[in-house]
Every structure is written in C-alpha cells, then in structure tokens.
Chain A
C-alpha cells in the first residue's frame, strides 16, 4: 500500500473526494483540467527565474488550441526507447498532451508494429511519482545552475591537466550524437577515458567474433529463413530487447498452413521462453552448455567437410549417452538443413562457444546468420572494463567520475566493491531516473529525463538510425545524457534538442528532411551492411581444445539470468512489471532460487522453503522455487531484486540481490555454490499454481505428424452445440477473435498491452498470493509429460465473449449483458458486486475490485490512464471487453470517412502488441476477414465447447515439429 501523498494538513484531513465514489464518469472533465494544470505548473516550474533549467522548446497553452489537437482525439508520435544501447522504434499515443500508450512502430525494423514487455512499461516509469525530482549534491537539493557552476569550475582544472583523472562510465550507447560528443570531449581532455557498463553486456559476443573473425562483429539473426534452429542458451523468443523481429519470423515458421515448419532445439539450464517453445530441449548445467556446443561441432565434423578439423572435439567433450544421442540427431538435422540451419548462442556464454557457432553457421552457409559491425561505441561493457575502472578508482587515479550507466553500485559484481570505490572519488556525477544505490554514494546526482520527455538518437539492433522525440515536457527537473556531457565542454546551457539538430544539420540541411525523420522516427536505409568475414578455424579449434572436458569443482552451480520482468533491475520500480508473472515460473513481485524437482528433493526443500545461496561471499537468502525442466545440480536466480535504493520505494526489499553470487570471473554462472536450507517457509505469490491440464482439452498441442488425426479429434470441439433454442442472429457486425497457440511463444507482451490500454490496476504481492490479480488477459502455462523435462503449452486467455454467456443470466441486477454485435458487456455503474458471474464463468476470466485500487493514485500516476476506458471503483466486477473503446473509435472514424468498417480497422491492444501475430480480431460476418479464415482453420477448437457457451474466441491448436529420430 502506498502512503497517501498530501500537501497540507487540510488536504490530509479532508474527507475523500466524492467524485471517486460517484463512479468513473464524474472525474473525466476534472482530470483533464487537472492534467492541464499540471502541465502548466510543470512549465511554470521550469521557467521559474533561473533556479531551474529553462526550456527552449515552446509549450503551447490550450487557450489557443494547436491545429493538430482536437480534444478527445489522441495523437501518435514515433519515438524510441533504448536499452543496452540499442533502440526499439515506438509509436506512442498521446491523449490531450500526455502519453498514454506505447506501441511498436509499424515501420521500424526492431519492432515492426509489435512490442516487447519492457518498452511498454516505460510509460509507468514516466509517471512514477518516486522518480528523482531535483538535482542533488551530497543528498542536498541543488539547482541545475549550481551543477553547471561546479562542473565548469572543475572542468577548468581538469582541462589544465589534459583531462587527467577524468573518467566517464557510460550506459552502452550507439547514439551518433553521444559518439560525436565523446569525440569532442577526448579532444578537449586527451587523457580522459570512456568506458561503459551494463549488467547484461554484449562483451562475450564481441570477444567471440574477435576470436572467430579477427574483428568485432555482431550476428544478425533472420529466422524467416530458418528450418533447423539450435539455441545454445539463446533466448531468442522472449519479448525482450532485440528479439521482437525474431518472434515474428519464428511465428510464421510455426504455422503449418504457411509452409514447412521450422524445428527448434534448445540446450539450456533453466527453462526459458525459447526453451518452452522448443521441439526438443536438453537441460544441462550452465558450464556444460559450452561443452555441448563443442561436442556438437565435433559431431558436425563428419557431416560437413569444411568442419572436418574439429573431429577431435567429439572425443574430448564426451557426453552422456542421452545427451550424445541428442547431439547426434541435432548434428545430422543441422547438416541436412544446410542454409536453413542456425546455431544461436546466448550472450552469457563464453567467447569460444560464440566462435564455435560462427564456425558452424559459416560452414553450413547459413542464410539465417549474417555478420555486421557492432553498433555500440564501446565493445567492452562487461565486468572486465568495470574492474579496470574500479582499480583506477581505488588507486586514486580518478578525480572526476561521470556516470550515466545504470546503477553500477548495485549491478556490479560484489567482488569489485564498486560502491565503496565510488564514495572515495572527490568529484562524481551520476545521472539517474531514481535515487538508487549509486545515487547514495555519488556527489552530484542529476535527475535523468525520461525517454518520453527528451530528445535523442540511437541505432537499432541492425544499425538503423532512430530518433527519440519527447511527447511531454519534463515532469521534473532533469537532464539528458548529452546535456551532462556538454557541461564538460562548457555548453551546459545547450539542450539536447539544440545539439541534436545541429549535429544532424550536416546530413539534413533542410527542415523538411529533418521533420520527415522525426515523424518517421528513423532514417530508412541506415542499417549497417552485413559482411562475410573469413572464419579463423584454427584459432577456434585451439581455443575450444583449451576448455576443460569436465567441471573440476564439485558441488552446485549457480546460474544467473536477467529477469523477464525487471531486466537487470532498472525496471524494478514499475508496478506493472512487478505484478507481471514471470512467463516460465508465474512468479510475481520477487525472484527465487529455481531448482529442479530432483535437486529440491535431494536438498529436502519444497516450494517456498528459504535457502541460503553462498558462493565465496556472504550468502543470499532466497525462497526455493521448484522449476520443472531445470537442470539438476544447479540453481538459477534472476537479477534485479533485493534493491536498497532510498528513492525506489516500490521495489525496495523485494526479493534478493545476486551481486554476492556474481564475480568478475563467472559473472553469469559457475561452480562452487552452496545451498543451505534454513528450515522456514515464505509465501510465494504466483498467478498460476496448478500446472497440469488434468487430461482436459484446454490448450491443445499436437505434433506435425499427428496433425491430421488431431484435426479430426477437434471436430467435436467446435461448431454449434445442440440446443433447443433457435440460434441468435447477428446481422450487423459479429466480433470474434482467433488465437493461434502455434504462434504464441508465451512472452507476456499482450498482458502488459492490455493492462496499459484498459487501466487495469496493480494489486500487490499479498493480494496476488490471495489470487486477486486483476489482469484481464492472462497467459496460462501448462506442463505436459515428465516432471523433469516437460513439454510446455501456453494459452492466452481473456473473456471469450460467449454467445450463451453463463455470467449473464445469474446477475441479479442486469450488470452484464449482451450487445447486438455479440459482445458480453460489463455495466460497471450497475454492478453491485455479487460475484455470481465470476462463479458461473467456466473460464474464470472475470476480475473483481476487492478494494479501491486506484483511489490512492497521485495526480501524476493518473496521467497514465487511458481516457477512453472507465476507471473502475471498489466492489465492481470487470473483464476483457474486446477493447470495445477501440471498436467504437473505429466506428466513429469510419463513419466520419463515410465508409463501412473493414478488416483491420479494429485492432485490440493485445493483438497490436503481439510480436508473434498470434491474436487476430475482427468481424466474423466478413468472409474475407482474417479472423474468419482463422476461425475456419482445421486446427480451430472452442475452449470448453461441451458446455455450450459458444465462445467468440476460437483457439487454433498448437503444432510442434519434433524430430522423429528423437522420439
């Protein structure tokens, strides 16, 4: 529960605002005015005589309405968000001047209209009331001018020394503007040094290509040409940065109607989203992934002449009979696939394995992997670079340290002692969105501007230059990264916009070109060209032969992964993400120690038992999570929890920190872990606790071979059920949805989209534990088969809009009714909350406001609300509406245009976000609509068809493509 925020004693003692109790319509007008006031106030604050940074960009008051704005009609702007230096193109919706929804930019190569989980959550970060609001020096509030003054004074001394002792620790960046600034800074301070740090570095990828090609390259993966895909710890199909285009290409490869299906083999430790989608999955200890890769390379030697020299690897890296069989079959399948084969290696794996994959991909002449020059300025952004800096800091060779990287005091491995070293630096500057662990130890702390508040540029994963434009003037005082750097050039008064415009003037002379770029959000055709560097097989072979054939240190192994919800921790203060269930474990609000059922049994622990995880340093205390499909003898933990930052109230104290488990050597995994059960239990908040389908026809999964048979079996799960009643006619539109389980990868992007679109509240850990989460759309995940290495099926499930809806006839007050277009509608105003409808809903997709979840929202948080969707009050039932507000908006739009609604006019939020195009929505009366053709598919079935509810959402059975040789 958040504490109430109040400005005066009167306000605190004032009885609650009656508008809240009146229901959702009343505040509509009020809130808009409030927002305008807020916008005005923030503008006024920004202009207050010199104490804060003056804005150079004009803010238009609504007294004179800007021509492009019609109140009530949202506007869309192309911009981008950048994570680990790579941009994802976004299309952001702004309602009356406030961003309310983030979607993927349809043209941008890194999103293609779809969107991942983290990018959508940027909206919550923008409106986070816990953001750092003012410049601080040693925890005292200061002004931007004070900072500039101090910096200029310091810079003068530094410049005299040629930049001796000046160090920059940067967020990994591909921004041309930042690159330019860095060049200018090096010219001004020749002895200054730049390094960058990210908890999830690409360093091993670069090292691997260095080994394989003698130069730094990044692999561009194109799954649209893949037929056999081997993932060695590469999580290609989770909706994380850089993976969205993969998912789209992969999904097309899983639809048996489109063409030959691809096949995916996954070799990994913990079950990942990619592993859940694999046709064959091998679970191995983290250090064994590399050995498996070498063994695979050794086996390919006999199949592919170009790889013949690697034959000794097969002998050196002996596999267990079971794993050997897997490797044999995989090698044969890869060789057979030839150009359609791809071996992908995850960024956590050592360089030699990356090099081995390059050897295989190039020998097979794979069309799916191309090499291109890296887009980042610093190739080395891992713990190695950070150690060099920390050593310099400890040796007193650093006088001024400017940090724009995210929270190194938290993210750095514990043995670097970075935080302690930082507090000894005489002059330190840290730019951050929150008062976090690093802000605690830094001198000057400058609030960062949120990406939706600031200008910028960056390159996408393929090098495409992408622009970031603000949608709202800064809510709090803050500075862009470029502005902090410019301060050291004595140009602190030049805003990012001025710098950006000037920098790009050389390319875009005229304003028209510039405006087109900004409107598009990127410059088309700026992707870096793929190259075909020669593979240095000898170097790879000798490096591979250096690896030990077996782990020498006994005991458990630790496996550290970035979190699917909070990444490395930078999204930890986002409530949407905290409550988003992990796609694999369905865990919310914390991380845990994932272990296989066999390992847990050997340790004598069960779900929720607290264990101590020790690896040289002080132990981390974590609840055990029994994870089917996890490798034995090792424990997986995710980063980003156990936060201690003063300013991050939401995430402080949730979960545990993995810093003590990470070392510079073995940053991601390694042996030497001790696991000690503590004999107590913790409550685990999972959104799904039962993982078997109990033999029921719920999420249907079949294999390509059995597809025909399954289609016949599914015949009794579709079609009109027997009924005495004459079927209801829907002469106008007949809305329906089709969800293709074969395409769905279970990534959760749709859940966040739904939450953002429909103002779905967050309830907190205790209430998730009580099974009161509010997600209208959930992704169910079922395990099939053996517990140790199960098959997995997912099923996105929201209200299926039954034609004969069991919820409707039991409501005593007519609060849930049917529309003439077949929508099952919820009348919030009429609902008294008997919850009878939920009891009678066989899909249990209805959600109840057990409390008033939104009444304690601050004014800033309220700005995130979608004005088209009612904010529900306490005691009211709610559920998926098929995005009725989007249907109505499309209806109005098409009526204004004087035409009929066509397929594609209505796109639901979940459909819009889905990177795999698994969700299709439309009018079932339109014979050419995609939803109509999907619904007519032979794989179609209705969930719980035998109940006769006639759901409007059709499911298409999932098809996998296992290799018969491994059956």
Chain B
C-alpha cells in the first residue's frame, strides 16, 4: 500500500530526468569531486575563507576585550548573538525535516536533496552553537558551567531555566544530525573509495567508509539504523525549536510571553530552512550539473512547503496581534501596536512582514514555483525576513518594555555585523568543502530510487529537462 502510495505520488512528475543508469549517475554525481577545483569554486571559497577570518577576528575581539564590543546594552541585553543563534538553528530544521520526517512519510522526492539538507543542518547548527557561548559575559566559565557535571562545589545548573534546556536540546540535535548525516554517507563514501584514482584518497575515503562493502547484511543493518535514527530525529524537529522558543515564551517580557511561540517557531524554522535549501541548491544544481536529479519537481515541492509553513507563520503573527489586543494587557499592546509598527525600528517590522507574509504568497502560482529566478529571490527574501523576525522579537520587544524610563535604542557595532557576515562565510566555506569532498547527492539512494522507478515502471517517462510539464 505504502509503496503504491509513494509511486502514486510520483505520477506525472520527474524526479530523475534523462536516461540514467547506475554508471551515468556515478559519473555525473561524483564527477565534481574528482575534477580539479574550478575557478568559480575557488573564488567562492576565497570569499568564504575571508569571511571566516573576519568571524574569528570578531570572536577574538569579543573574548579578549569583552562582550561590550557588541552593541548590546541594558535594556537590550540580547541582540545579534541570540538573533543569529535562533536564525541558524531554524535554518538547520529543514535538514532534519527532509531526512527524517519525509523519510518516515516515504516522500520519495526527498532523496535528491536530503544529503544536501542534512549537511546544511549540520553546518547551520555549528554556526548556531557558537553563539550561546560567545554571547555570555564569561564564556570561559559558561562553556562548562551550563553542563550538569559533578562539581566538587556541589553546584548544579538551574534546571528551571530555559537556557539550560537549550543546552540539552541543541547538543542532542547536533549529535543526532551528525550521526544521521554520517550514516547516510557511508555507502557513498564507499563508492568514492572504490572510484578513487589515487591511493591517498582511497585510504582517506576508506577510513571514513568504515569498511562498507555493500553486502546484504550491511544494507540490512544500515536500513534499520537509518530508520531508527529517523525516528529519533523526528521529535527533535519539534522539540529543538520549541525549546528555543521557550527562551522567550517563559519570560515575562511583553512580545515574548506568548503560548503560540512553540508551533510558530517550529513552522518558522522549517520555513527558513527550506528557504535556505532553495537558496543553496538552485545555484548548486546548475554549476555542479545535477539538474537531472534535482529537478523542477523538487523545487516545486520545496516551494509548496515554504508556502505552507509561511502561512502558519503568518497565522502566528495574526494570533500574536489578536492576543495582544484581546488580553487588554497594555504592555503587550504597546509592543504589537506601537513599538513594532510605529516605533523607531518599524522598518524592520515591515521588512519582516513583506518577506515572510507577502513574498511566499507568490508560490500559490505554479509558474512562480517553477521559475528559477523567482524561487531563488523569494527564498533569499524569506531568509532575510526570518532574520528580521527574530530581530523584532528580541530587540524590538526589549527596547521598550514595562517602565518607560528604561527605554533605549539599540545599535549594532562592527563586531556584531562581522559575526553575522562571518558565520555566513564560515557556513559557506564548510558547504563548499562539503560539495567538493563528499557526494552532495545521496548517490545510493538515488540509485535505489531509480531502481524502484524502473522496477515499478509506473509512469516513469524520461523527458527532456525543460519539458518537465506533464
């Protein structure tokens, strides 16, 4: 039944284009790794490394001189650090959703993009993980005092604090994502080992392939482990961002203290995650020549997920405003009807609304979902919008809270901007390295899919790449 349903879902679509067999897939998908590095790739890597340098300079400055190098103040005690943290964690969500939930729901279109999305998750969570430590006043203590280790002082962390829960949520998430990604990589690493032309790369890939030989027993264990990890990762999609949202929802700050935060944060995370996958995969499929496995059908599906989660996010916005009005709470009302839409940072509010509410509506249209330019610009705007959503939640709420004498403006410093740009650069660098040294498309799964489709032989019609319309 499930098999049929899955194949039914494939009807009238093209998940793999052109006449492909294992050999051509091997060739086309591993080609990029065996080629000499191309100038375009090197150019992007140079930019990425430069920004990474900036990131480490900014981190050094922060550690050496103090957190005061950031623009934070009292009342805006959290700003870029936490915005970036939430933003990167959110971006990470698409990976887990694609790999785990779509796997469990047997959505076959996930196959071509899951490796890509998982890598993105991993690197995004890595960026995110920098901030909780960096943003503290004394990172040299924060880095281990937040973990419940048996200290001779018999002081434990405070388990009532949502920040404490964050530590567990994020570290669990990172470990699970890493295992999931690595496990999925094993057959492909073995493929790389086997197609290596040099002894050195054979040894290196051989080590990482953990002796994978592709025996039926291997495949049997692999399948079970993969499914189990998928099952483990699925609740994480919900839990991580729920817990991140509790950092805000459990406080009493007007604009933070709302029960709608968990679902709306999770939807927002998936929303931004898919936007980031699209932002990355659109250029990658072109320059790395895998348009035949990442087809317009994939892009179309991702646009639909974005539209759906975008609508949930929009609903969240509406409910926040409604609850503020309906509660009669003057502080909430001030945030939602004055500070955000009419305060000194109103531009950020309107930018958020434009990017997150208006822009995704274009994906109701089929041509927009299949127009590469519209998709890419839309996805970039959603990423911008989601960053500003966190900016509005964090900075705008804090800068005008209960007692008006506290109110003050927030201005970021060069260090804040360098950290944002730097993490984008570091993320990009890791991603470029990933594209160069690891199969960006889950080769074994694609082959499996091709087999399934060939065996199932249902509606599998090779079409021209541009002629993907049914």
Distance in angstroms from B455 CB to nearest chain A CB is 54
Is B405 a contact of A850 with CB atoms below 8 Å? no
Collect the chain A residues with CB atoms within 8 Å of residue B408's CB.
689, 771
> Given the interface contacts A875-B66, A875-B136, A877-B137, does A832 sit within 8 Å of B145 by beta carbon?
yes
Distance in angstroms from B358 CB to nearest chain A CB is 31
Is B65 a contact of A844 with CB atoms below 8 Å? no
Distance in angstroms from B74 CB to nearest chain A CB is 6
Distance in angstroms from A770 CB to nearest chain B CB is 5
A797 touches B (CB below 8 Å): yes
Q: How far is the CA of A830 from the CA of B154 in the complex (A)?
A: 12
Residue of A whose beta carbon sits closest to that of B167:
A812
Distance in angstroms from A772 CB to nearest chain B CB is 5
> Given the interface contacts A771-B73, A811-B158, A812-B157, does A833 sit within 8 Å of B67 by beta carbon?
yes
Residue from B156, B162, B404 in contact with A814 in the complex, judged by beta carbons closer than 8 Å: B156
Interface size on B, residues (CB 8 A): 50
B330 touches A (CB below 8 Å): yes
Collect the chain B residues with CB atoms within 8 Å of residue A835's CB.
72, 77-78, 137
> Given the interface contacts A831-B138, A834-B135, A840-B253, does A814 sit within 8 Å of B405 by beta carbon?
no
Residue of A whose beta carbon sits closest to that of B66:
A851
Of the candidate stretches A39-47, A393-401, A595-603, A690-698, the one touching chain B is A690-698
Collect the chain A residues with CB atoms within 8 Å of residue B251's CB.
806, 810, 836, 839-840
> Given the interface contacts A695-B330, A782-B404, A782-B405, does A848 sit within 8 Å of B141 by beta carbon?
no
Most buried by A among B76, B156, B405, B406: B405
> Given the interface contacts A695-B330, A832-B142, A833-B142, does A850 sit within 8 Å of B407 by beta carbon?
no
> Given the interface contacts A694-B334, A696-B330, does A839 sit within 8 Å of B253 by beta carbon?
yes
A503 touches B (CB below 8 Å): no
Residue from B71, B137, B156, B252 in contact with A833 in the complex, judged by beta carbons closer than 8 Å: B137
A702 touches B (CB below 8 Å): no
Collect the chain A residues with CB atoms within 8 Å of residue B188's CB.
none
Most buried by B among A694, A781, A812, A852: A812
> Given the interface contacts A698-B404, A814-B156, does A832 sit within 8 Å of B137 by beta carbon?
yes
Most buried by B among A809, A833, A843, A852: A833
Distance in angstroms from B34 CB to nearest chain A CB is 47
Is A839 a contact of B411 with CB atoms below 8 Å? no
Is B402 a contact of A812 with CB atoms below 8 Å? no
Which residues of A from 794 to 850 have beta carbons under 8 Å from B? 795, 797, 806, 809-814, 830-836, 838-840, 842-844, 846-850
Residue from A812, A813, A874, A947 in contact with B252 in the complex, judged by beta carbons closer than 8 Å: A947
B68 touches A (CB below 8 Å): yes
Which residues of B from 355 to 401 have beta carbons under 8 Å from A? 398, 400-401
B161 touches A (CB below 8 Å): yes
> Given the interface contacts A833-B138, A838-B77, A875-B136, does A812 sit within 8 Å of B163 by beta carbon?
yes
Collect the chain B residues with CB atoms within 8 Å of residue A844's CB.
74-75, 401-403, 406
Most buried by A among B137, B160, B164: B137
Collect the chain A residues with CB atoms within 8 Å of residue B158's CB.
809, 811-814
Is B162 a contact of A810 with CB atoms below 8 Å? yes
A-B pairs under 8 A by CB, number: 164
B47 touches A (CB below 8 Å): no
Collect the chain B residues with CB atoms within 8 Å of residue A840's CB.
251-253
Collect the chain B residues with CB atoms within 8 Å of residue A875's CB.
66-67, 136-138
Collect the chain B residues with CB atoms within 8 Å of residue A797's CB.
403, 405
Is B403 a contact of A831 with CB atoms below 8 Å? no
B146 touches A (CB below 8 Å): yes
Collect the chain A residues with CB atoms within 8 Å of residue B330's CB.
694-696
Q: How far is the CA of A833 from the CA of B398 in the complex (A)?
A: 17
Q: Per-residue CB proximity of B156-195 to A under 8 Å, as 1/0?
A: 1110111110010000000000000000000000000000
B232 touches A (CB below 8 Å): no
A778 touches B (CB below 8 Å): yes
Is B164 a contact of A812 with CB atoms below 8 Å? yes
Q: Per-residue CB proximity of B76-91 to A under 8 Å, as 1/0?
A: 1110000000000000
Most buried by B among A692, A694, A811, A851: A694
> Given the interface contacts A689-B408, A693-B404, A947-B252, does A836 sit within 8 Å of B66 by beta carbon?
no
Distance in angstroms from A670 CB to nearest chain B CB is 36
Residue of A whose beta carbon sits closest to that of B334:
A694
Is B66 a contact of A811 with CB atoms below 8 Å? no
Collect the chain A residues with CB atoms within 8 Å of residue B156's CB.
814
Distance in angstroms from A840 CB to nearest chain B CB is 5
A363 touches B (CB below 8 Å): no
B284 touches A (CB below 8 Å): no
Residue of B whose beta carbon sits closest to that of A813:
B145
Residue of A whose beta carbon sits closest to that of B142:
A832
Is A690 a contact of B407 with CB atoms below 8 Å? yes
Distance in angstroms from B134 CB to nearest chain A CB is 11
Is A848 a contact of B404 with CB atoms below 8 Å? no
Which residues of B from 45 to 82 have beta carbons under 8 Å from A? 65-68, 71-78
Residue of B whose beta carbon sits closest to that of A848:
B74
Residue from B67, B135, B163, B401 in contact with A810 in the complex, judged by beta carbons closer than 8 Å: B163
Is A831 a contact of B137 with CB atoms below 8 Å? yes
Is B66 a contact of A696 with CB atoms below 8 Å? no
Most buried by A among B163, B167, B252, B409: B252
Most buried by A among B77, B334, B407: B77
Collect the chain B residues with CB atoms within 8 Å of residue A693's CB.
404
Residue of A whose beta carbon sits closest to that of B411:
A770
Collect the chain B residues with CB atoms within 8 Å of residue A780's CB.
403, 405
A357 touches B (CB below 8 Å): no
Most buried by A among B71, B78, B334, B403: B403
Collect the chain A residues with CB atoms within 8 Å of residue B411's CB.
770
A220 touches B (CB below 8 Å): no
Distance in angstroms from A838 CB to nearest chain B CB is 4
Q: How far is the CA of A844 from the CA of B145 in the complex (A)?
A: 25
Residue from A778, A834, A847 in contact with B142 in the complex, judged by beta carbons closer than 8 Å: A834
Q: Per-residue CB proximity of A656-690 to B under 8 Å, as 1/0?
A: 00000000000000000000000000000000111
Is B403 a contact of A771 with CB atoms below 8 Å? no
Is B138 a contact of A810 with CB atoms below 8 Å? no
B224 touches A (CB below 8 Å): no
Is B252 a contact of A814 with CB atoms below 8 Å? no
A944 touches B (CB below 8 Å): yes
B305 touches A (CB below 8 Å): no
Q: How far is the CA of A877 from the CA of B135 in the complex (A)?
A: 13
Q: How far is the CA of A947 from the CA of B332 in the complex (A)?
A: 13
A343 touches B (CB below 8 Å): no
Residue from A810, A838, A847 in contact with B250 in the complex, judged by beta carbons closer than 8 Å: A810
Collect the chain B residues with CB atoms within 8 Å of residue A814's CB.
155-158
Collect the chain B residues with CB atoms within 8 Å of residue A622's CB.
none
Is B161 a contact of A843 with CB atoms below 8 Å? no
Q: How far is the CA of A831 from the CA of B155 in the complex (A)?
A: 12
> Given the interface contacts A810-B161, A812-B157, A838-B74, does A833 sit within 8 Å of B403 by beta carbon?
no
Distance in angstroms from B462 CB to nearest chain A CB is 57
Residue of B whose beta carbon sits closest to that of A949:
B252
Which residues of A from 276 to 304 have beta carbons under 8 Å from B? none
Is A772 a contact of B146 with CB atoms below 8 Å? no
Distance in angstroms from A586 CB to nearest chain B CB is 9
Q: How far is the CA of A824 from the CA of B406 in the complex (A)?
A: 20
26 contacts between A and B (CB under 8 A): A770-B411, A780-B403, A797-B403, A809-B158, A809-B161, A812-B146, A812-B158, A812-B164, A812-B167, A813-B142, A813-B158, A814-B156, A814-B157, A830-B155, A832-B146, A834-B137, A835-B77, A836-B163, A836-B251, A838-B77, A850-B67, A850-B68, A851-B66, A875-B138, A876-B137, A877-B137
User: Which B residues are closer than 8 A to A by beta carbons?
Assistant: 65-68, 71-78, 135-139, 141-142, 145-146, 155-158, 160-164, 167, 247, 250-253, 330, 334, 398, 400-409, 411
User: Which A residues are closer than 8 A to B by beta carbons?
Assistant: 688-696, 698, 767, 770-772, 778, 780-782, 795, 797, 806, 809-814, 830-836, 838-840, 842-844, 846-852, 873-877, 943-944, 947
Q: Can you list the 5 inter-chain pairs with the closest CB atoms, starting with the nearest?
A: A833-B137, A875-B137, A850-B68, A835-B77, A771-B408
